[in-house]
Amino acid sequence: MTKSKREQMEPRLQQLVERLKQAAGINLHAVILYGSAASSEFNENFSDLNLLCLLHDLSASAMLVLSDTVEWWKKQKQSVPLLLSVDELTHAADVFAIELLEMRRHHRVLYGEDLIADLHVPLHLHRIQVEHELRTKLILLRQSYLTSSKRKEEVLKLMLESVSSFLTLFRHSLIAMGGEPESSKRAMLQQLQRKMNLDTRPFFELLTIREGGLKPDALDAQTVFPTYLKAIEQVIAAVDRL
């Protein structure tokens, strides 16, 4: 029987941790898996292995000794781990509020000390970061649509690949509005729908396709995309008004 992607990832993660320990030695403070791979929301086709490596020293020479390990990890078709120093984790928490709140929500310590669980994340810059991220991703979405708008399979791919990022930012939009987002994506979408009278149908359909409950060709991507785009613009406008 073929192993699932989740089953395959465990030995790879263990290998990576051992290589990092050998390369970095006492400079390595912790290795933390975060995001959907550390939660029940892991998706075989779309989820990445997001890793945070906490080190004491991140000088050029300290990073150089990690280069062979990172190259090996890239050959496993994985993203380069996020490197932060232990000091940066606390001192830069205010400007990385979205990322660190997401890490705190879903993470698993693979090695070392858990500095994420009780991390204080200041929120005084959170709304600005949410709006900045939403607007940046909207600009990229528009640019990508320009080059794929005549091919419905490309438009569908564009939405499927971007929906997870927008849902994360929708969660943080609710936080910026003073709400407490529901834990599941669908419940959070319903919450946003009630609060803003938003048409969230494209997001539910895209989630169903990603989960294998709906065939991709069942969705007319070129018809759905305008609604998808408008909903994103409405959320941005609401965050901007704050």
Per-domain residue ranges of the chain: 5-112, 126-241
Instruction: Write the pLDDT tens digit of every residue in 180-206.
Output: 999 899 999 999 999 999 999 999 999
How far apart CA 22 and CA 184 sit, in angstroms, is: 38
Q: Is the pLDDT of residue 12 over 50?
A: yes
Instruction: Write the pLDDT tens digit of every residue in 51-110.
Output: 999 999 999 999 999 999 999 999 988 999 999 999 999 999 999 999 999 999 999 999
Check if the beta carbon of residue 35 is closer than 8 Å to that of residue 102.
yes
Q: Buried (b) or exposed (e) across 211-229, using 16+ Cβ within 10 A? A: eeeeeeeebebeebbeebb
Give the type of residue at 60. A
Angle at 103 between CA 99 and CA 104, to 5 degrees: 120
How far apart CA 114 and CA 117 sit, in angstroms, is: 6
> Residues 114-131: what's their mean pLDDT?
96
Q: In the β-sheet with 28-34, what is the strand arrangement from edge to edge?
A: 82-85, 50-55, 28-34, 107-112
Instruction: Write the pLDDT tens digit of every residue in 35-58.
Output: 888 887 766 665 678 999 999 999
Check if the beta carbon of residue 46 is closer than 8 Å to that of residue 160.
yes
pTM here is 0.86
Q: Is the pLDDT of residue 241 over 90?
A: yes
Instruction: Write the pLDDT tens digit of every residue in 99-108.
Output: 999 999 999 9
180: left (phi over 0), alpha (psi -120 to 50) or beta: beta
How far apart CA 223 and CA 40 sit, in angstroms, is: 31
Length of the chain: 242
Class of the CATH domain delimited by 5-112: alpha beta
pLDDT tier at 150, thresholds 50, 70, 90: confident
